A and B are shown apart, each in its own frame.
Chain A
């Protein structure tokens, strides 16, 4: 073994931005080597597979198909499911694996450790989903009949990315607030957001999904007898929807950072 004395040189501590970027890169480096990344990649191929199957069988009226995919598959399933799984994993994995100890023993603000990882999750999910949306759009647009326009694509991309970011913040908050966050997260995602957003009356306004759908020009829908008996909330304006989503998303992220930076490591 070498016997020289440890070298100490004056150095500047990394800025929060630099440290956050390093944290994000470290998170992605670790995540890319994990087996679950392969499974998520395969899962993300499902919408494209569905689009190919639709194109090969029916294959007409691409606009309707694209809207159905954006709302039914991307917004109500992937934009909830992936942030739920990965947002919680970003927080809990390193706590449970006890590798977080190494990061917290560095000259990096505690909220930056969490913030960098959460940002990496948000960006990664958004990028993957955006790619998926573009591929599905391409397939839908290639079908005969009324196809989706470029404006629809850009709106869909914006809504999907916004949904990924806001829900990532929400599930990261649950990840830092609860020791076992999966059950409250599932209830929140598929109970609150999934069920409440389709309830009659003003209930949908209590969900983020309502404002996301409003950005697509869609409101809660009732059908059959229910449509005759109950009233449904009309879509919110785009400005109001954006305002609510940014406000709530910002609160989720800020609360996650504050709680996360005050949390101790389990012994």
Chain B
């Protein structure tokens, strides 16, 4: 039984296909759902938490179908993407009400709301009306309501959107702690480094389809043929460029002042070669960085450069 799964699930709204025969299955502690705006991330999450019904195919959460499944709803927490609340309520009251609907009594709900607000760093703001909270605080409040009842699975739609860098770091740390305590998380984002900071397990979506699934390294294996770019600064950029172009794997070299960017089909060999040249001291190489070392490059390549993957 996988924690998150879909079997040829499709969801369309009129003539718009939001999710298109999408299949995946995973039980990793944190699954990052990655894709550009309009990729179908939010629709997939809504299908998984039972807010939407599949047009065809099926989805599963903890091995159960989520639509109108109240037993399952008791075990999951959902943080929606949109920034909507009962604005006139106090932050703690908002979480308390939602806890009550999980079957906790008034005292238990109050305790859990206070704990949840503390976990997201809003403990001092529980009495403030939601209307008066900043965007980042409201984002934290959404996470608080999702985790207050102690769910086994958290489904978080763009939970880091609108948070400042410190807030992002704190929330990422919180998500890691939750995963370490046995909670499974499905986190969507279109910002790659956010997901990269909390998980290596990625589901890549575009136009309602899965482009790739697996660990970051495995996704990268898919793109062996993709030219990697390596940037360096050198005292002798032109001479360095000429030296690099002698090798067959080097496809192109760009020179911009002291900066040299090389495109290669064999990044590991190229790195090694540049290291040797640097240590020989012939070209005064001062810095070296792989431009494709983060998920951004993988994502860009998969989405834009391999239309065959988009079906």
Residues on A lying within 8 angstroms of B by beta carbon are 1-3, 5-9, 11-14, 18-19, 22-23, 26, 29-30, 33-34, 97-99, 101-110, 261, 264-265, 267
The answer for the CA separation of A259 and B306 in the assembled complex, in Å, is 44
CB distance from A171 to the nearest CB of B (A): 23
The answer for the CA separation of A221 and B98 in the assembled complex, in Å, is 52
Q: Is the CB of A33 within 8 A of B74?
A: no
Partner of A107 from the list B97, B102, B173 (CB cut-off 8 Å) is: B102
A8 contacts which chain B residues (CB < 8 A)? 150, 152
The answer for the CA separation of A261 and B119 in the assembled complex, in Å, is 34
A5 contacts which chain B residues (CB < 8 A)? 177-178, 180-182
B115 contacts which chain A residues (CB < 8 A)? 2, 7
The answer for the CA separation of A261 and B104 in the assembled complex, in Å, is 24
If over half of A's interface residues share one DSSP class (helix, strand or loop), that class is named, otherwise mixed; here it is loop
B97 contacts which chain A residues (CB < 8 A)? 22, 26, 29
Question: Which residue of A has the minimal Cβ distance to B88?
Answer: A33
| B53 part of interface (Cβ distance < 8 Å) | yes
CB distance from A25 to the nearest CB of B (A): 9
Q: Is the CB of A101 within 8 A of B177?
A: no
CB distance from A173 to the nearest CB of B (A): 20
Q: Is the CB of B82 within 8 A of A98?
A: yes
Q: Is the CB of B101 within 8 A of A104?
A: no
Given A1-B118, A1-B121, A109-B70: A99 and B98 interface contact (C-beta under 8 Å): no
The answer for the CA separation of A126 and B44 in the assembled complex, in Å, is 42
B42 contacts which chain A residues (CB < 8 A)? 267
Q: Is the CB of B183 within 8 A of A14?
A: no
Size category, B interface: 35 or more
Given A107-B102, A267-B42: A99 and B177 interface contact (C-beta under 8 Å): no
| B103 part of interface (Cβ distance < 8 Å) | yes
B46 contacts which chain A residues (CB < 8 A)? 265, 267
Q: Is the CB of A107 within 8 A of B51?
A: no
Question: Which residue of A has the minimal Cβ distance to B69?
Answer: A107
Interface centre among A2, A34, A265, by most chain B C-beta atoms within 10 angstroms, is A2
Fill in one digit per residue for B5-26: 1 if any A CB lies within 8 Å of its CB, else 0.
0000000010000100000000
CB distance from A114 to the nearest CB of B (A): 13
B147 contacts which chain A residues (CB < 8 A)? 6
| B206 part of interface (Cβ distance < 8 Å) | no
Q: Is the CB of A19 within 8 A of B101?
A: yes
The answer for the CA separation of A7 and B108 in the assembled complex, in Å, is 12
Q: Is the CB of B120 within 8 A of A107?
A: no
CB distance from B125 to the nearest CB of A (A): 13
Could you tell me which residues of chain B, from 178 to 220, have a CB within 8 Å of some CB in chain A? 178, 180-183
B49 contacts which chain A residues (CB < 8 A)? 105
B53 contacts which chain A residues (CB < 8 A)? 264
Can you name 11 A-B residue pairings with CB atoms under 8 Å? A1-B174, A2-B119, A11-B102, A13-B70, A104-B50, A105-B51, A105-B76, A106-B102, A107-B70, A108-B101, A265-B51
The answer for the CA separation of A121 and B11 in the assembled complex, in Å, is 34
The answer for the CA separation of A9 and B42 in the assembled complex, in Å, is 30
Top-5 shortest CB links A-B: A5-B181, A33-B88, A107-B74, A106-B101, A8-B150
B180 contacts which chain A residues (CB < 8 A)? 5
Given A104-B51, A105-B49: A11 and B78 interface contact (C-beta under 8 Å): no
The answer for the CA separation of A84 and B170 in the assembled complex, in Å, is 47
Given A3-B177, A26-B97, A97-B84: A14 and B51 interface contact (C-beta under 8 Å): no
Q: Is the CB of B85 within 8 A of A1?
A: no
B174 contacts which chain A residues (CB < 8 A)? 1
B120 contacts which chain A residues (CB < 8 A)? 1
A105 contacts which chain B residues (CB < 8 A)? 49-51, 73, 76-78
Question: Which residue of B has the minimal Cβ distance to A103?
Answer: B101
Question: Which residue of B has the minimal Cβ distance to A5?
Answer: B181
Question: Which residue of A has the minimal Cβ distance to B78?
Answer: A105
Q: Is the CB of A30 within 8 A of B86?
A: yes
Question: Which residue of A has the minimal Cβ distance to B120?
Answer: A1
Could you tell me which residues of chain B, from 100 to 122, have a CB within 8 Å of some CB in chain A? 100-104, 112, 115, 118-121
